[in-house]
Structure 1
Amino acid sequence: MKTSPPTSLRSPTSQEKHNGSEADSLGDELTTFDPVLEKIVWRKMDKWILPVVAMFYLLSFLDRTNLGNARVAGLQTDLKMTDKEYSIALTLTYVPYIVAELPSNLLLKTVGPNLMLPTMLTLWGVVTTLQGVVKSYQGLLACRFFLGLFEGGVFPGLVLYLSFFYPRQQLQWRISAFFSTASISGAFSGLLAFGIINMEGVGNRPGWAWIFILEGLFTFLFGVSAYFTLPRSPLHAPFFSEKEKLYVVERLREAGSTGQDEDADKFSWREVGQALLLPQVWMLAIIFFFDGSILYGLAYFTPSIVQTLGYTAARAQLMSVPPYASCFVVTMIAAYVSDRYHCRGFVSMFCSILCIVGLSMFLGSSSHTVKYGSLFLSITGAYCAAAALSTWSANNAAPHTRRATAIAIGFIMTNSGGILATWLLGSLSPSPLYTKATITLLVFAVLMLVFSSANTYYLYSQNRKKVAIRAVISRHEEKKGLGDRSAWFIYNT
């Protein structure tokens, strides 16, 4: 049965006016929900967009954390670096990374994600490759700085980009699909490093240098190809028919997703300030910091941790693979549950508990087998939580500028946690026990559980207040420009 377009349709943009009667007639054919189109459009996006985005993040995480594999393969020895200098090299990556995140997210829509994201990917591919030819510690520091600068806006930009294409309640599975490539990269990095270090001496270069050269060249080539494969928005997606484009835009608008109302989504410094006043943004920011400390501590130091359990350097690369492989499976299951039952907060709590149990096992046992087994829990908890938190952040702020700011704040805090982790497991808590670091990260995991519970309760209570408001006023009587504070914007708990 055909119906006229719902009243929630915004006024047409200049581009839509130019399209004339053709767009109007297509709009008249649309229903609010079409089960046939519903299957077609999201499957097309999953086929054409999700693999590209997933590869972006896999390469991003691979190129940022392969320093840990290179360290085990001899980089620290060859460049005559102390543990403190290694921590400095890691820290230097995060400084420009953090600085770039908010400006990058605010510029993403203006410049166009189809141009900005591939450019960042291509440039950091060049820098990654150059790490393979450095001859000194100072050269490595320069590379790490520019790697962080070019890579800083990638993860928040990808989360924001996906929110242009998918409704809020379908977002976590997709964010998890691309974020879980971080866990794949953890496994893939170990396998690659195991094979590449056998190139020791080829071209008169050490094995660790080839890790950077080969992985960096692939990143560069994929970045160039992305200029031709990444669409700017649903309306610019070549794989959609005109009817499918309009259907996607309407479904996104109904779901309160970003990027679909040109007036509300215009850049505004006021909206940047409004994001800073949202309690859920700051509760999530605290959780992001704690999770970032755990996640990056494990990302950079898992090969070193495994090596302290009695494995050779090459064997340690291989033994770091299984925990990340299991992490991928759990992350995708958790994402399905979260999207199906709209329970971002409970998934975050579950992940916190996994971290608590895993870190407790590592701290309390002297058995190498138990310590290795603990990595399956702590790695899974940290990575799975990051995907849930990223979606939770994107779901609960609107309009566009407010959402872009909220997402960027979360990742600024995540990477601030990464800075702490490089020192905790670097020079402040020596191997093989990492006692001080493990105690600190265990406390952080407990606090993740506390703040996840608090944020869930806060959002639940706000939704109850909105129900009461909707009972006494109509939508047309509500003040304009409230964004996520609107009584008709339902927070995802």
Structure 2
Amino acid sequence: MSNKHDPEALAIEDEKHQLDVPIVVDAHTEEYQEYLNLCEDFRGEREQKLNRKIDWHILPPLMLIYMMTYVDRSNVGNARLFGAQKDLGMSGTDWNIGLSLLFVTFAVGAPFTAALGKKYTTRFKLPLLLAACGGTILAAGCSNNKAAWYAFRLILGFVESGKFIAYVLSTWYSSNIFTTRYSWFYFGATISGAVSGLLAYGIAQLDYHWGYRGWRWIYVLEGFVSIILAILLCFVMPGTPEASHKWVTPEEQRFILLRGKYTYGTDKSGNSSEFKLKEYLSAWTSPHFLVPAFSMFSFAVGIFAFSFTLPTIIASMGFTAAAAQGLSAPPYVAATFAVWISGWASDRYKKRVLMVVVPAFVAVVGLAMMWFSVGKPKLVGLCYTGCMLAAMGFYPLSPTHTSILALNNAGQSKRSAAMGGLLVFTQVGGVLGSNIYLSSQAPYYPVGFGVSAGLIIFGNLIVMTGYWFYVGAVNKKRAAMTEEEIRARYTSDELEAMGDKSPLYIYSR
């Protein structure tokens, strides 16, 4: 079949040329005619200028919020090295239970905050959540027993579940640049591992200062910084595209709203921006949510286990606790570059599933190197290289999975449900990942490395390869019908109501 009649080839061409050839939807609707006219006005440099304007106003505050909430979450591994477990009278099992509790309340809260994220503005909501995270972390630094520690972990998980940022990005950016922008934004999460390690290294120099252990200083000071930043962000945090903004003209605002409606999935039928409960619930039975979400779960087990255990693994190489904090930063720096390259390649070549398979393979190689060399003094270099590769493989997977969900779930209600549901699967993975690196198996961790590698291989290599073939078969079946035949059978309203089930919708793979 030639590219002229191949829907996937046409979809890729439309994305590559940033809608230089507008997609035909329904030439008789006023709204779509308005969209076509705006496409003419926003060709080439003008659209790129608009995207850069959005970048400067949207990405920095979102990146900062994501980075600080991840710092607040990931510093638990650093706190353990500086006496938190001992001071709170916790066994290794108790500690793992504490790690898991955050993911339980996060998973419970995520679907509800996903629905609320569609209905309420983010301008004050996200800074408020950051302040709540900072306050919870600060209070956790004052804990004196296991019960208080568990309570604050539960609260932190519920508060963080409202950090529904991927959906916010999908409302501002078109499908052809979503993955790149989400990767840029995800730098905040990736670099937070380095920031957390370096901050912990510096703050931990206060160990036993005024009679307090280093872990308390880490929590109290990082929590205080989060609260201050949250207050400042209230003055610069933008709202939704529907709200008025001084830096966006009415014409630009209208174009942003319409391209979000008509470009995802090169959607020739458009998709609704209204919140619809039926559409929201339909995501939970869609293979275009369930398959990528399972793949996300399988990698989440490994990435959370990795981030929680990395300082301990580095310390087992023979380094002091303080040195292990500093040495935990370079793997995250390397991961930041891997995230950028993966996001760029995904949008440049439109090979979404390939950008899951390649990083997943790198992560498996890194885990294998760590598993083989950990605890062997003569193989410290090999083990540390494995840490670098594992981080470079793990971290690009989250933006890619998120972009697949955004591109293959049409209608903003269904898309918000899919992204909220993705958080549920991720947190369930976090619960399992918190309990596979057993202190009784240190420093070799056969269960931790084995489970992490096995799930990555099955969920991200095997399952996602199968999804690639499945999506190809669906697209081929839809290509068998001409647009004229489809429009003769369905009205424009019916096609819009179908969302990504519309025969005019082309899935990304």
Give the TM-score of the pair, scaled to structure 1.
0.90
Q: Kindly indicate whether residue 90 of structure 2 is the aligned counterpart of residue 74 of structure 1.
A: no
Code of the residue aligned with 1:107 in structure 2: it is L
Q: Kindly indicate whether residue 342 of structure 2 is the aligned counterpart of residue 344 of structure 1.
A: no
Q: Kindly indicate whether residue 443 of structure 2 is the aligned counterpart of residue 444 of structure 1.
A: no
Per the TM alignment, residue 195 of structure 1 is displaced from its structure 2 partner at its CA by 0.3
Q: Kindly indicate whether residue 116 of structure 2 is the aligned counterpart of residue 107 of structure 1.
A: yes
**What CA RMSD, in Å, does the superposition of the two structures yield over aligned residues?**
2.5
Where does 1:308-327 land on structure 2 (aligned, <5 Å)? 308-327=316-335
CA gap of 1:192–1:489, structure 2 versus 1, over 3 A, is same
Of 461, 474, 483 in structure 1, the residue corresponding to residue 473 of structure 2 is: 461
Counterpart of 1:21?
Answer: none
Q: Kindly indicate whether residue 501 of structure 2 is the aligned counterpart of residue 485 of structure 1.
A: yes
Show CA shifts across 1:29-50 (max 9, x none): 7626422321221001111110
Q: Kindly indicate whether residue 93 of structure 2 is the aligned counterpart of residue 84 of structure 1.
A: yes
Per the TM alignment, residue 355 of structure 1 is displaced from its structure 2 partner at its CA by 1.5
Per the TM alignment, residue 176 of structure 1 is displaced from its structure 2 partner at its CA by 1.1
Show CA shifts across 1:113-145 (max 9, x none): 223222222211111111121122221111111
Where does 1:226-305 land on structure 2 (aligned, <5 Å)? 226-236=233-243, 237-256=245-264, 264-305=272-313
Code of the residue aligned with 2:391 in structure 1: it is I
Q: Distance in 1 between matches of 2:263 and 2:193?
A: 34
Per the TM alignment, residue 472 of structure 1 is displaced from its structure 2 partner at its CA by 5.2
Which secondary structure does the structure 2 equivalent of 1:234 belong to?
Answer: coil
Q: Distance in 1 between matches of 2:270 and 2:358?
A: 38
Q: Distance in 2 between matches of 1:384 and 1:454?
A: 20
CA gap of 1:10–1:316, structure 2 versus 1, over 3 A, is farther
Q: Kindly indicate whether residue 74 of structure 2 is the aligned counterpart of residue 58 of structure 1.
A: no
Per the TM alignment, residue 266 of structure 1 is displaced from its structure 2 partner at its CA by 2.7
Which secondary structure does the structure 1 equivalent of 2:332 belong to?
Answer: helix
Code of the residue aligned with 1:359 in structure 2: it is L
Cα contact 2:141–2:220 (8 A) shared by 1: yes
Code of the residue aligned with 2:175 in structure 1: it is R
Q: Distance in 2 between matches of 1:360 and 1:8?
A: 56
Per the TM alignment, residue 250 of structure 1 is displaced from its structure 2 partner at its CA by 2.9
CA gap of 1:254–1:132, structure 2 versus 1, over 3 A, is same
Code of the residue aligned with 1:361 in structure 2: it is M
Cα contact 1:293–1:420 (8 A) shared by 2: yes
> Identity over the aligned pairs, expressed in percent?
27
Cα contact 1:8–1:253 (8 A) shared by 2: no
Q: Kindly indicate whether residue 188 of structure 2 is the aligned counterpart of residue 176 of structure 1.
A: no
Cα contact 1:284–1:389 (8 A) shared by 2: yes
Counterpart of 1:408?
Answer: 420
Q: How many residues are treated as equivalent by the alignment?
A: 474
Cα contact 2:118–2:275 (8 A) shared by 1: no
CA gap of 1:476–1:135, structure 2 versus 1, over 3 A, is farther
Show CA shifts across 1:318-358 (max 9, x none): 11111111110011011000011111100100011012111
Cα contact 1:176–1:387 (8 A) shared by 2: yes
Q: Kindly indicate whether residue 145 of structure 2 is the aligned counterpart of residue 129 of structure 1.
A: no
Q: Kindly indicate whether residue 390 of structure 2 is the aligned counterpart of residue 395 of structure 1.
A: no
Per the TM alignment, residue 230 of structure 1 is displaced from its structure 2 partner at its CA by 2.3
Code of the residue aligned with 2:462 in structure 1: it is V
Per the TM alignment, residue 238 of structure 1 is displaced from its structure 2 partner at its CA by 2.4
Q: Distance in 1 between matches of 2:197 and 2:467?
A: 36
| Structure 2 gap segments, 5+ residues each | 1-19
Q: Distance in 2 between matches of 1:203 and 1:85?
A: 28
Where does 1:425-440 land on structure 2 (aligned, <5 Å)? 425-427=437-439, 430-440=441-451
Code of the residue aligned with 1:354 in structure 2: it is V
Counterpart of 1:355?
Answer: 363
Q: Distance in 1 between matches of 2:38 and 2:100?
A: 55
Counterpart of 1:185?
Answer: 192
Per the TM alignment, residue 462 of structure 1 is displaced from its structure 2 partner at its CA by 1.6
Cα contact 2:275–2:413 (8 A) shared by 1: yes
CA gap of 1:27–1:360, structure 2 versus 1, over 3 A, is closer
Code of the residue aligned with 1:331 in structure 2: it is V
Cα contact 1:102–1:153 (8 A) shared by 2: no
Counterpart of 2:169?
Answer: 162
Per the TM alignment, residue 94 of structure 1 is displaced from its structure 2 partner at its CA by 1.0
CA gap of 1:265–1:27, structure 2 versus 1, over 3 A, is closer
Where does 1:361-400 land on structure 2 (aligned, <5 Å)? 361-365=369-373, 366=376, 367-400=379-412
Per the TM alignment, residue 99 of structure 1 is displaced from its structure 2 partner at its CA by 0.4
Q: Distance in 2 between matches of 1:194 and 1:476?
A: 67
Cα contact 2:407–2:508 (8 A) shared by 1: yes
Cα contact 2:138–2:219 (8 A) shared by 1: yes
Show CA shifts across 1:39-68 (max 9, x none): 221001111110111111111111111010
Cα contact 1:470–1:487 (8 A) shared by 2: no
Cα contact 2:100–2:431 (8 A) shared by 1: yes
CA gap of 1:235–1:391, structure 2 versus 1, over 3 A, is same
Q: After the TM superposition, which of the residue ranges 404-413 and 142-151 deviates more from structure 2?
A: 404-413
Cα contact 1:168–1:255 (8 A) shared by 2: yes
Q: Distance in 1 between matches of 2:68 and 2:395?
A: 16
Counterpart of 2:436?
Answer: 424
Q: Distance in 2 between matches of 1:444 and 1:253?
A: 36
Code of the residue aligned with 1:138 in structure 2: it is A
CA gap of 1:8–1:431, structure 2 versus 1, over 3 A, is farther
Where does 1:28-47 land on structure 2 (aligned, <5 Å)? 31=40, 33-47=42-56
Code of the residue aligned with 2:501 in structure 1: it is R
Q: Distance in 1 between matches of 2:56 and 2:442?
A: 44
